[in-house]
Amino acid sequence: MNPYQALVSSYASLWREGRQIPMGNLAPTVAPRINPDAGTVLIFSPHPDDECIIGAIALRLLRESGCRVANVAVTQGTLPSRQQGRLEELKQACAYLHFDLIQTSSTGLSPITLKTRETDTCHWGEAVEVIAGILQREKPRVILFPHANDWNSAHIGVHHLLMDALKIQHSSFACHTVETEYWGQNMQPNLMVESSESDVADLVAGTSCHVVEVTRNPFHLLMPAWMQDNVRRGSELVGGQGQAAPDFGFATLYQVRRWAQGGVQEAWKGGKMLSKTDNPLSIFEPAS
């Protein structure tokens, strides 16, 4: 008898049970206490739902360190007929996790793609100015945005949008940049962040607020498995080839660098593993 049959069957059973759980319409989690000295974390989301999917480190910085976290809705999707609906779902998700919400316009900045950057320089330039203005106003300690090869055209576009907006900041502007991954794997992560079971459950629940999207593709139910697989990948991509996996249940991978003196700088050498008992703010010392 295969000793793993029951294990695999339980995964399949949980998936089927998950399909029956009502989505969205959740009472907010307990509000964390904000520490004004901890600084602001900005998540630049290509689409509504990205704030939950890649937001593990932001949620920990909010809950454990008292950082203010704000999600910047770079776009509200590409379909005009869904932009208002996606905004309402986004408001629910952010309220559930206690993320502030910053709109870039009433309908978002879409289209934000490399094609737009190359062929519609007027729209792209206006979008860069919007993002640059948010950076100037918020003066974040940490910013999250997709890495350059995150497959989806909007994700790749938002990466270049942020880089262009950073380049026009005053030379004194400094922050940590945290490049995220979801659709396309980042082959150079240098940080693996463990999440507690309760944090993962809240990220899944927050993602479920995006009801129409997860009805089309129930990726909220796959998030725990994705975060488990991140432990497999991160043990060697972050820890080093041939290294043993840490005793993490769930994790998210990031590439952390610093923006200072008008350019990207290395944040540290090698990789770091942030366990669920570590202080998440300790790795984001103020950039200088």
Q: Is the pLDDT of residue 288 over 70?
A: no
In a domain, 143, yes or no: yes
CATH number at residue 239: 3.40.50.10320
What pTM was estimated for this model as a whole? Answer: 0.96
- Give φ, ψ of 206 to 5 degrees: -60, -40
- Average pLDDT rounded to a whole number, residues 175-193: 97
pLDDT in tens, 141-150: 999 999 999 9
- Average pLDDT rounded to a whole number, residues 61-67: 98
In a domain, 173, yes or no: yes
pLDDT in tens, 215-233: 999 999 999 999 999 999 9
Q: Is the pLDDT of residue 286 over 80?
A: no
pLDDT in tens, 22-43: 999 999 999 999 999 999 999 9
Looking at residue 187, its amino acid is: M
In a domain, 211, yes or no: yes
Q: Is the pLDDT of residue 287 over 80?
A: no
pLDDT in tens, 233-272: 999 999 999 999 999 999 999 999 999 999 999 999 999 9
The predicted pLDDT at position 253 comes to 98
In a domain, 20, yes or no: no
In a domain, 96, yes or no: yes
- Average pLDDT rounded to a whole number, residues 123-135: 98
The predicted pLDDT at position 52 comes to 98
For residue 71, what are the domain limits?
Answer: 34-282
The predicted pLDDT at position 191 comes to 98
Number of domains comprising the chain: 1
- Using a pLDDT cut of 90, give the percent of the chain over it: 98
In a domain, 147, yes or no: yes
In a domain, 150, yes or no: yes
> pLDDT band at 115, cuts 50/70/90?
very high
- Average pLDDT rounded to a whole number, residues 38-52: 98
- Average pLDDT rounded to a whole number, residues 57-82: 97
The overall average pLDDT reported for the chain is: 96
> pLDDT band at 273, cuts 50/70/90?
very high
In a domain, 29, yes or no: no
The predicted pLDDT at position 31 comes to 95
Residues in Cβ contact with 35 at an 8 Å cutoff, skipping those fewer than 6 apart: 65, 66, 67
Closest CA to 265 of 195, 193, 173: 173
> pLDDT band at 285, cuts 50/70/90?
confident
Per-residue H/E/C for the chain: CCCCHHHHHHHHHHHHHHCCCCCCCCCCCCCCCCCHHHCEEEEEECCCCHHHHCCHHHHHHHHHHCCEEEEEECECCCCHHHHHHHHHHHHHHHHHHCCEEEECCCCECCCCCHHHHHHCHHHHHHHHHHHHHHHHHHCCCEEEEECCCCCCHHHHHHHHHHHHHHHCCCCCCCEEEEEECCCCCCCCCCEEEECCHHHHHHHHHHHHCCHHHHHHCCHHHHHHHHHHHHHHHHHHHCCCCCCCCCCCCCEEEEEEEEEECCEEEECCCCCEEECCCCCHHHHCCCCC
